[in-house]
A and B are shown apart, each in its own frame.
Chain A
Amino acid sequence: MDELWGVVFSAIKAWFTLVVLLIMFPAMLGVSLGITETYMKILVKTLKWATVRIEKGSEERKTLKVSSSNGLIQRLDGSMEEQIWELRGSRPKPPVGGDFTLSDVFYFSRKGIESIVEDEVTQRFTSEELASWNLLTRTNYNFHYISLRLTVLWGVGVIVRYCVLLPLRVTLASIGLSWLVIGTTAVGFLPNWRIKEWLSELVHLMCYRICARGLSATIHYHNRENRPKKGGICVANHTSPIDVVILANDGCYAMVGQVHGGLMGVVQRAMVRSCPHIWFERAEMKDRHLVTQRLRDHANDKTKLPILIFPEGTCINNTSVMMFKKGSFEIGGTIYPVAIKYDPQFGDAFWNSAKYNMVSYLLRMMTSWAIVCNVWYLPPMTQHEGESAIQFANRVKSAIAHQGGLVDLSWDGGLKRAKVKDVLKEQQQKKYSNMVVGEDSSD
């Protein structure tokens, strides 16, 4: 019995030593030993080979290639006015009593059916479809045909992912998180000298780097000269909770959010001790005025870390940017937009919170191949004179969408849970009414 324990103990010791030596130390110092790079290279080659095999194996299914363009239908462009005018054709306008024809419903029917077949919003809340299979049995339904060699490869992949990568990543993540709690708590006891700030940043960076290794994150930062500076507000598009880890790998931010319970709560309480994050109680969150005021106070203090906000308010599946809530743009000050785009080939980073809870999401992440993502820092933006907060928010949103290669949508991400506001339907009715009776008499 003792012998067995001895073996187990030394195995664990060897495991931890390896982890600490090969991953922790380099991570703390922010250097790379090239292990991740090599792993990524092998991965890319394997996936490429698999794609070629799939395409060869399915010669008869030529449609596969076409369907990788994703869309199911091609929508007609043009406004309601244009399309209905076209529909009515050369029909003369009746002299009295409003302009309506029985065929106007064709427009609404077609629009309606189009949205049933494919709509802009709901598909942003489910996982993105891939152009080629990435050997993870997820997200893609185009590839059921699997040859023997591919199946074997997939099997090996499962073993590697679950038996090697998963334990390694869990170890790293737990070390990272506990280090964060211990480190920030310890720093919290120091008096408010400059050294505290410095140490706090160091601890944060270190932990996030360890966590990032725990997800095998390969992050490419672009235009680092535009990194958010103190006393500003950093806004980014939101795909998953990992966004925070990704951004915090390259600088410290003051987080904004609701106080959570459980594990998250412990982490939050520890973090706030070492540097001023802004956590709100649930009840406080409802008081918009208070929230704005606290954020404004923070942003006005040029010595404080930039605030990190995800103005979409919910996770979107990495293909588009949805409406930015105007709150963050009412605070004033400089906005530092950041675009984050994950490479879906190596794993689906989107957190479908309606379907998975946090733990099973993290488990999926840790059993994926890797997280590869691009981060673009955009030039700082400020509100123009005479520009409303909403207009400003839209301008920032377009800039992010454009840079990240994401679709710029004006829909509210809140639709994931809530129903559409009646106001939007009324706008459609108003638009149509104007076509029937003309602009002037509508009021």
Chain B
Amino acid sequence: MGSRASSLLREEDIEEIKKETGFSHSQITRLYSRFHSLDKGENGALSREDFQRIPELAINPLGDRIINAFFPEGEDQVNFRGFMRTLAHFRPVEDNEKNKDPNAGEPLNSRTNKLLFAFRLYDLDRDDKISRDELLQVLRMMVGVNISDEQLGSIADRTIQEADTNGDMCISFSEFIKVLEKVDVEQKMSIRFLH
């Protein structure tokens, strides 16, 4: 199975993905093999069900939101390219990437893009604002039935108050960045990929 999987991936594709995501050649082929084994429909794309079949993800309180991050608006399939693009947000920031050519555009694993990934977990309707209602829904996913509505409501109110600077009772992305400016996002939103 494995040998077939990697031969389906063309060398040009690997090069392009490498450029776009910063993953190394061997990481790409290994992740392709993983992609292939998740792809139960064997159609070269993953569906939401393919993700939900991973038990550890299925028990993750935010599992559905994380899965959603792989799917562009209105689509229910993600190909390998898209899969890698989302995973690339979690590559650690390497020293030599910090002062790269400024014209190259922002790498997927930059601090801002990592924060954007987290922001979008809350932004259910993708309107670039986290409303009180959205925050409540995400909180509910995280705590399940264990906390009362009032208590959760007061947590949401307090969180929005702390973050909201322009008084629209929502958290915009720039407000989100501001609140989390002291957090070591680069490290906490990174996975240690080997080789």
Binding between chains A and B: yes
Neighbouring B residues of A426 by C-beta, 8 Å = 144-145
A216 to B60 alpha-carbon distance, docked (Å):
45
The smallest beta-carbon distance between B160 and chain A, in angstroms, is 10
List the A side residues contacting B166 at CB < 8 Å: none
Chain A nearest CB, measured from B161 CB (Å): 11
- CB pair A141–B33 under 8 Å, yes or no, is yes
B167 in contact (CB, < 8 A) = no
Range of interface residues on chain B?
A: 35 or more
Chain B residues whose CB sits within 8 angstroms of the CB of A141 once the complex forms: 2-3, 5-6, 29, 33
A67 contacts B61, C-beta separation under 8 Å = no
- B171: A residues at CB distance < 8 A: 102
CB–CB A67/B54 < 8 A = no
- Interface: B26 (CB within 8 A): yes
Across the interface, A429 reaches (CB within 8 A) one of B66, B144, B183, B195, namely: B144
Q: In the bound complex, do residue A106 and residue B185 qualify as a contact, i.e. CB atoms below 8 Å apart?
A: yes
Name which of B14-22, B94-102, B150-158 contacts chain A.
B150-158
**Interface-side segment among A21-29, A121-129, A177-185, A266-274:** A121-129
Instruction: Point out the residues of chain A lying under 8 angstroms from B183, CB to CB.
Output: 87, 89, 103, 106
Residues of A within 8 A of B90 (CB): 109-110, 113
- Shortest A106–chain B CB gap in Å is 5
A104 sits at the interface (CB 8 A): yes
Question: Which residues of A lie under 8 Å from residue B117 when comparing CB positions?
Answer: 109
* Residues from 143 to 193 in B contacting A, C-beta threshold 8 Å: 143-147, 151-152, 154-155, 158-159, 163, 171, 176, 179-180, 182-185, 188-193
Q: Name the residue of chain B whose CB is nearest to the CB of A412.
A: B55
Report yes or no: B191 in contact with A73, Cβ–Cβ below 8 A. yes
The smallest C-beta distance from B65 to any residue of chain A, in angstroms, reads 8
**Top-7 shortest CB links A-B:** A141-B2, A429-B144, A433-B146, A115-B56, A112-B66, A74-B192, A108-B62
Residues of B within 8 A of A (CB): 1-3, 5-7, 25-27, 29-31, 33-34, 37-38, 51-63, 66, 87, 90, 117-118, 121-122, 138-139, 142-147, 151-152, 154-155, 158-159, 163, 171, 176, 179-180, 182-185, 188-195
- 14 new A-B pairs (CB below 8 Å) besides A76-B192, A109-B66, A112-B57? A66-B195, A105-B122, A109-B117, A112-B62, A112-B63, A113-B87, A119-B55, A122-B38, A141-B5, A420-B55, A429-B144, A430-B146, A432-B61, A436-B147
- What are 20 A-B contacts defined by CB distance under 8 Å? A67-B195, A72-B27, A75-B192, A87-B188, A98-B152, A105-B118, A106-B185, A106-B188, A108-B62, A109-B62, A109-B90, A113-B87, A116-B54, A119-B57, A121-B56, A122-B53, A122-B55, A123-B37, A140-B2, A419-B53
Residues of A whose CB lies within 8 Å of any CB of B are: 63, 66-67, 69, 71-76, 87, 89, 94, 96-98, 100-123, 126-127, 129, 137-144, 411, 415, 419-420, 424-430, 432-434, 436-437, 442
